[in-house]
Amino acid sequence: MKVGIIGCGSIARQRHAHEYGLNKNVEIAGFYDFVADRAADMVSKFGGKVYPTVEDMLSDKDIDLVSVCVANAYHAEITIKALKAGKNVLCEKPMAVTYEQCLEMVKTASDCGKRLFIGHNQRLTPAHKKAKELISSGKMGKVLTFATSFCHAGPESWGIDKGKGTWFFRKDAAAFGSMADLGIHKIDLIRYLVGDEIKSIYSEMCVLDKTYEDGSPIDVDDNSVEVIHFRNGAFGTVTTSWTQYGGENNQTQINCKNGVMKLYMDPKYSLVVTHPDGSVDNYDLDRIQTNTDKQQATSGVIDEVVDSILSGRKSILDADSIIGSMKAVFACMKSMETGKAVEI
Ligand SMILES: NC(=O)c1ccc[n+]([C@@H]2O[C@H](COP(=O)([O-])OP(=O)(O)OC[C@H]3O[C@@H](n4cnc5c(N)ncnc54)[C@H](O)[C@@H]3O)[C@@H](O)[C@H]2O)c1
């Protein structure tokens, strides 16, 4: 399978190009970025060629799959163009910046007979997969409450353009702040693990510390807290932060009728299950993927997408399964505006 990558920043380097390079069924055809030097740099590291425009890449008949790794505001436009050009697409999260765009992306994939995947890597980590298995098997009993967080020091040190000028701080390019940059991972994860749809969500967001170069506060949130109720009664919180100036918090606790699951909370065991009688099962499965260069582990996203296309099987990254998580993101924006919980 031949692949093209659109957007040659941090996630394209650290995950997409790197993991395509490790997959024996894939050949990298090339790269496009509107900053041409970035595409050239990727070619020098990963092979393939530089495509001068998106259209040049999409008209290359040899390309089967395109990764969309650009700023959030352009996900929908580029994804839809690629699907219409007959390509399968792996688009980064958050899927798009309006609900209508999300629906149009899924509809276009279906109309064109192509596959569309969203890069929700958290569904694939070994400890999260084990937690899903334990919940689905019924062993843990009903999920009662949960608390999940994704907090780090902010995107200024992550994206390819470092510092306060990052597009992550601009509403026109990012649309959302930490709530959807980080929170979409956890909203989607908890929805996936609980295995039910969200009934209502209440969200508070604020700008505590991040500023533009001129010292004015950024126009997307740098911290958020969400209270989520599922239709089956489970409820709990999602916390996101771009102002955790020391380490990273990427943890989840799920309290079930038959015990407590702690995910990525213990330094040694990525899943710790404590039963009502006090007995403990420790699972040493993996370390959480982080945004620091040194610890970026293989996510499994690329292998999942490639195998799903080649075998024709459904994937847990299929875009239609992500729509419910994006609905919750848009409901958070409405909740913030109205100061009320939003029914979904
Ligand atoms: N799944 C994850 O864990 C994860 C982690 C980080 C980023 N992301 C997502 O990946 C996407 C990219 O993030 P990043 O951290 O790589 O950002 P980045 O700023 O490092 O890279 C983005 C690149 O896209 C290019 N670009 C932007 N708009 C473009 C357009 N319209 N056409 C062509 N090129 C364009 C920029 O020049 C830049 O090189 C974002 O949507 C982000 O939310 C996902």
Q: Are residues 333 and 195 in the same domain?
A: yes
Domain edge (last residue) among 85, 118, 151: 118
Kindly report the protein residue whose alpha carbon is nearest to atom 21 of ligand 1: 9
Domain edge (last residue) among 118, 134, 157: 118
Domain count, the chain: 2
Q: Are residues 82 and 201 in the same domain?
A: no
Predicted pLDDT of residue 293:
47
CATH number (domain holding residue 179):
3.30.360.10
Predicted pLDDT of residue 290:
64
295: confidence class by pLDDT, cuts 50, 70, 90 = very low
Under 8 Å between Cβ of 139 and 258: yes
Q: Are residues 182 and 209 in the same domain?
A: yes
The answer, yes or no, to whether any atom of ligand 1 lies below 6 A from the CB of 28, is: no
Which of 70, 78, 97 to mutate to test ligand 1, by most ligand atoms within 8 A of the CB atom? 70
pLDDT tens-digit readout, 30-53: 999 999 999 999 999 999 999 999
Q: Is residue 8 part of a domain?
A: yes
Q: Are residues 284 and 140 in the same domain?
A: yes
The answer, yes or no, to whether any atom of ligand 1 lies below 6 A from the CB of 322, is: no
Name the DSSP class of 234: -
Ligand 1 atom closest to the CA of 35, numbered from 1: 37
Going from the Cα of 11 to the center of ligand 1, the distance in angstroms, rounded, reads: 6
- Structure-model confidence comparison of residues 289 and 70, the more confident one: 70
Close Cβ partners of 321 (under 8 Å, ≥ 6 residues apart): none
Q: Are residues 183 and 74 in the same domain?
A: no
Predicted pLDDT of residue 289:
65
Which of 6, 11, 93, 248 to mutate to test ligand 1, by most ligand atoms within 8 A of the CB atom? 11
Q: Is residue 306 part of a domain?
A: no
- Identify the domain containing residue 99 by its residue range: 2-118
Q: Is residue 313 part of a domain?
A: no
pLDDT tens-digit readout, 106-131: 999 999 999 999 999 999 999 999 99
Mean of pLDDT values over 300-327: 98
286: confidence class by pLDDT, cuts 50, 70, 90 = confident
Under 8 Å between Cβ of 134 and 273: yes
Name the DSSP class of 217: B
- Structure-model confidence comparison of residues 294 and 277, the more confident one: 277
Q: Is residue 301 part of a domain?
A: no
For the full predicted model, state whether its pTM sits above 0.85: yes
Q: Is residue 241 part of a domain?
A: yes
Q: Are residues 76 and 27 in the same domain?
A: yes
Q: Are residues 98 and 153 in the same domain?
A: no
Q: Are residues 114 and 86 in the same domain?
A: yes
Q: Are residues 127 and 104 in the same domain?
A: no
Q: Are residues 272 and 147 in the same domain?
A: yes
The answer, yes or no, to whether any atom of ligand 1 lies below 6 A from the CB of 93, is: yes
pLDDT at residue 285 is higher than 60: yes
